[in-house]
Amino acid sequence: MKPDIHPEYHPVVYQDRGTGDRFLTRSTATSETYVEWEDGNSYPLITIDVTAYSHPFWTGNQRVLDTQGRVEKFRRRYGGRTR
């Protein structure tokens, strides 16, 4: 690798906004917010919307969307029209 062209790769803590679960990993992401981890060290905290702790594929919980209401709304708005 060429020297001095790569971003700094360091430990960070990611937190899921929905569940509050945290995990320690390495990343090039930075943050001004720090959190103390289980080992007593302080690491940058990156808060994200979806992780494996809250994603429906990994948790098995599927969200039901109101598709029927959307279709009815569409038909009310555009249903009687023809080309």
Answer yes or no: pTM beyond 0.95. no
pLDDT in the model for residue 42: 96
Q: Which of 58, 7, 28, 36 is nearest to 15 (CA)?
A: 36
pLDDT digits (tens, 9 = 90+) for 23-48: 999 999 999 999 999 999 999 999 98
Using the predicted structure, report yes or no on whether residue 59 has a pLDDT greater than 90: no
